[in-house]
Amino acid sequence: MAQTKTMRLDIVSAEAEIFSADVEAAFVTAELGELGIYPGHAQLLSPLKTGNVSALLPDKSEEIFFIQGGFLEVQPFVVTILADTVLRARDIDEQAALEAKARAEKLLAEKISEIDFGRAASELAAAVAQIRAARQLKKRAGGSR
């Protein structure tokens, strides 16, 4: 029996379907850590952490996304990501993300309440993940840092 070399990856947010295509692999930041998912993967349901999703396409190109929150569902040949926030790496404003990172780091350095600390930490994680996604895309495209 021939082994299937691709699986369907669907990435959706509350607003729209962001991506739907056959992929050879997907790499996701789940609550328990980084996951590499390939065709035939065991079934899985997991909350997602703020981070990046990389999709390896059959032509060996890669699509990169920033996600914030949501859930991952893995079936043997279908992977669905239901994200609170999704941005394609090419749509990320790296300068704005760097500014958000600096603001969050400043808030964390100040004496703030626990609620403000949690919010600043969340904003910092999101900014760092966006910067990482934008730079990963530049690196893949052969651009400079």
Query: Tell me: the pLDDT tens digits for 63-114?
Result: 999 888 899 999 999 999 999 888 887 776 777 777 777 777 777 777 666 6
Domain 92-141 of CATH type 1.20.5 = yes
The mean pLDDT of 3-26, rounded to a whole number, is: 92
- When the pLDDT of each residue in the chain is averaged and rounded to a whole number, the result is 83
- Domain extent listing, the chain: 7-89, 92-141
Q: Which residue has the higher pLDDT, 18 or 121?
A: 18
Residue 41: partners with Cβ closer than 8 Å, 6 or more residues away: 7, 74, 76, 79
Determine the pLDDT at residue 26: 97
Superfamily of domain 7-89, CATH level 4 = F0F1 ATP synthase delta/epsilon subunit, N-terminal (2.60.15.10)
> What is the rounded distance in angstroms from the CA atom of residue 37 to the CA atom of residue 105?
33
pTM of the model: 0.70
- pLDDT above 90 (res 39): yes
- pLDDT above 60 (res 144): no
- Can 7-89 and 92-141 be said to share one CATH topology? no
Q: Which residue has the higher pLDDT, 122 or 83?
A: 83
